Amino acid sequence: MMSGRAAGLGLAAALTASGCGATQLPATTALREQTPTQQRLDIVDCRAEVGYRLGYNGDDPEVLNVLRHVFVLGTGGAALGGVATGLSPATATGSASEGLIAGSGAGVIAGSVLGIGVRSRFEREWIACMESRGYAVVAPSPAIN
């Protein structure tokens, strides 16, 4: 039987291996007379702006973004639950284990809900950002069967 830590690491490794890589964004065409340098800067700037707003890193696979949300909110929930049930920084006494477990569980659930499906929202907001800067998004042609 696998320990909890080994199972968690195995799950994380499997999810990471199944990730598709960085988010592939559609090609754009300048509608105003932007230089190639300005086009590259606008692409990077929109990617960073939207990523910051959504807490999503387009350079990482979607799985890593979900795991990042799960980890951050899980540890934050554990800390809040520990403090709420008696783990005080002033006194190192108290039974905080129930609060740690409940808080981390709630944080993991919230992180999963917030992390899944962010990629499509990231793509939509990136397209809107690029269009607001004077670019047209070129839709890929459908595959020929």
Tell me whether residue 92 is in a domain.
Answer: yes
Tell me whether residue 64 is in a domain.
Answer: yes
Residues in the chain: 145
Classify residue 44 by burial, with Cβ atoms within 10 Å: 0-12, 13-18, 19+: exposed
- What does the alpha-carbon distance between residue 55 and residue 65 come to, in Å, rounded to a whole number? 8
Tell me whether residue 124 is in a domain.
Answer: yes
The total number of structural domains that make up the chain: 1
DSSP structure class, residue 140? P
- What does the alpha-carbon distance between residue 37 and residue 26 come to, in Å, rounded to a whole number? 18
Region of 94 on the Ramachandran plot (φ > 0 left; ψ -120 to 50 alpha; else beta): left
Of 123 and 5, the structure prediction assigns the larger pLDDT to 123
Tell me whether residue 130 is in a domain.
Answer: yes
Helix (H, G, I), strand (E, B) or coil at 111: helix
Tell me whether residue 20 is in a domain.
Answer: no
- What does the alpha-carbon distance between residue 111 and residue 130 come to, in Å, rounded to a whole number? 28
What are 7-42's pLDDT values in tens digits?
555 555 555 554 555 667 888 888 988 999 999 999
Tell me whether residue 5 is in a domain.
Answer: no
Q: What is the pTM of this model?
A: 0.61
| Residue range(s) defining the domain that contains residue 53 | 34-136
Residue with tokens 């005080």: 88
Tell me whether residue 59 is in a domain.
Answer: yes
- What does the alpha-carbon distance between residue 40 and residue 44 come to, in Å, rounded to a whole number? 6
What are 33-84's pLDDT values in tens digits?
899 999 999 999 999 999 888 888 777 777 777 777 777 777 777 777 776 6
Tell me whether residue 127 is in a domain.
Answer: yes
23-27, 53-57, 97-101, 139-143 — which is least confidently predicted? 139-143
